[in-house]
Amino acid sequence: MRTTAWMPAPMSMLIASIWIEDGTARHIMDSQLAEFRARQDLARELLPQELLQTDPACMFVWLKLPPPWRADDFAANAKARGVVVMPSSAFAVDRSEIEHGVRINLACATSRAQLVSALRLLTGTLKDRPRALFGTI
């Protein structure tokens, strides 16, 4: 209990220190940022730009939903097709009105090809008529 709760694990700190000193940590971070940027580019290419909010250094994008979509309905419809997104209701902290949108995690896909497939599915879902799918989120 003392070694894990009162101080960082010594082996982890040693590895982190070595990686910082020899540049490995910088290389890992630069590689991750380059992958985030590439995945952000795919999102901007495949999703409607007027509905998209992005940041090149982020693993998420925000997709605003056009009427008649509601965030929970869109998330349920996407999940029924095999893609999980987070509806804006998951981020609500009170009972005030929320924007209808979903957060898409670009880092969950194991490959860029898998991400392209998921983003195309979401674009297709946007064009469909909402279907009532209760209890599927």
Phi, psi of 63 (to 5 degrees): -110, 110
Q: What is the pLDDT of residue 1?
A: 53
Q: What is the pLDDT of residue 4?
A: 57
Q: In what order do the strands lie in the sheet with 101-105?
A: 52-53, 60-64, 101-105, 86-87
Q: What is the pLDDT of residue 41?
A: 95
- Residues 38 and 121: their CA atoms lie apart, in Å, by 19
The CATH architecture to which 2-127 belongs is Alpha-Beta Complex (3.90)
Q: What is the pLDDT of residue 137?
A: 46
Best CA proximity match to 100, nearest among 120, 126, 124, 80: 126
Q: What is the pLDDT of residue 2?
A: 57
Specify the length of the chain in residues: 137
Is the overall model pTM greater than 0.85, yes or no?
A: no
Residue 37, pLDDT above cutoff 80: yes
pLDDT in tens, 48-89: 999 999 988 889 999 999 999 999 999 999 999 999 999 999
Q: Within a 13 Å sphere around the CA of 134, how many CA atoms are in the beta-carbon half?
A: 0
| The two three-digit tokens of residue 124, written as one number | 């297709």
The domain locations on the chain are: 2-127
| The two three-digit tokens of residue 16, written as one number | 């982190």
Q: Average pLDDT over the chain, rounded to whole?
A: 90
* Burial (Cβ within 10 Å: 0-12, 13-18, ≥19) of residue 26: exposed
Q: What is the pLDDT of residue 132?
A: 63
